[in-house]
């Protein structure tokens, strides 16, 4: 899919200095952002359920899988 995005000049120049393949770089960055948001959402759901006194085992397992994936990727994000 083709998407046109406008970036501030300094950000665009910074990206171009870092890579020859801007599309792949942006794809990686957006993928990481989406994964962080999903981890954060899953954690919030767990905390909400824990506050209610019960945690859905499926959501707990999903959170554990996300944490393991985070550990393997070396992502220090703890949002």
Residues 32/75, Cβ–Cβ less than 8 Å: yes
Query: How many angstroms from the chain centroid is the CA of residue 51?
Result: 25
pLDDT of residue 78: 45
Q: pLDDT (tens digit, 0 to 9) for every residue of the chain, 79 residues total?
A: 999 999 999 999 999 999 999 999 999 999 999 998 988 888 888 777 776 666 677 777 777 787 777 777 665 444 4
pLDDT of residue 42: 84
Write down the pTM of the prediction.
0.60
Q: Cα-flanking dihedrals φ and ψ of residue 20, to 5°?
A: -90, -15
Instruction: Round to whole Å and give the CA distance between 5 and 10.
Output: 14
């Amino acid at each position: 899919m083709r998407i046109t995005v406008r970036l501030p000049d300094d950000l665009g120049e910074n990206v171009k200095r870092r890579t020859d393949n801007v599309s792949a770089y942006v794809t990686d960055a957006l993928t990481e952002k989406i994964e962080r948001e999903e981890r954060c959402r899953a954690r919030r759901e767990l905390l909400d359920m824990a506050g209610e006194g019960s945690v859905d085992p499926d959501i707990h397992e999903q959170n554990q899988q996300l944490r393991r994936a985070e550990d393997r990727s070396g992502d220090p994000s703890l949002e």
